[in-house]
Amino acid sequence: MITRKKIIAGNWKMNKTSADGVALVRDIVAAVGKQADVEVVVCPPFTGLEAAGKALEGSNVRLGAQNMHHEAAGAFTGEVSAPMLRAIFTTHVILGHSERRLYFGETDETVNRKLLAALKNQLRPIFCVGETLAERESGATLKVVQTQVERGLEGVGKDHAPSVTVAYEPVWALGTGKVATTEQAQEVHAFIRGLLVKLFGEPAAQKVRILYGGSMKPSNAPELLAQKDIDGGLIGGAALEARSFVELVNAAAAAR
Contacts to ligand 13P by CB under 6 A: 11, 97, 169, 174-175, 213-216, 234-238
70 is catalytic: no
The residue (of 92 and 200) whose beta carbon lies closer to ligand 13P is: 92
* Among the listed residues 135, 156, 141, 129, the one whose alpha carbon sits nearest the alpha carbon of residue 234: 129
Minimum CB distance to ligand 13P, residue 120 (Å) = 24
**Total Cβ atoms within 10 A of residue 50:** 16
137 is catalytic: no
The residue (of 172 and 200) whose beta carbon lies closer to ligand 13P is: 172
Minimum CB distance to ligand 13P, residue 74 (Å) = 28
Question: Across the strands, what pairs with 127?
Answer: 95, 166
* Among the listed residues 44, 171, 149, 153, the one whose alpha carbon sits nearest the alpha carbon of residue 102: 171
Which residue's Cβ lies closest to ligand 13P? 236
Catalytic residue among 70, 92, 97, 189: 97
Minimum CB distance to ligand 13P, residue 97 (Å) = 6
Q: How far apart are CA 99 and CA 189, in angstroms?
A: 21
Minimum CB distance to ligand 13P, residue 158 (Å) = 27
Q: How far apart are CA 223 and CA 57, in angstroms?
A: 32
Q: How far apart are CA 39 and CA 36, in angstroms?
A: 7
The residue (of 120 and 178) whose beta carbon lies closer to ligand 13P is: 178
Give the HSE-up count for residue 54: Cα atoms under 13 Å, Cβ half-sphere: 8
The residue (of 204 and 240) whose beta carbon lies closer to ligand 13P is: 240
Q: Give the residue numbers marked as catalytic.
A: 97, 169
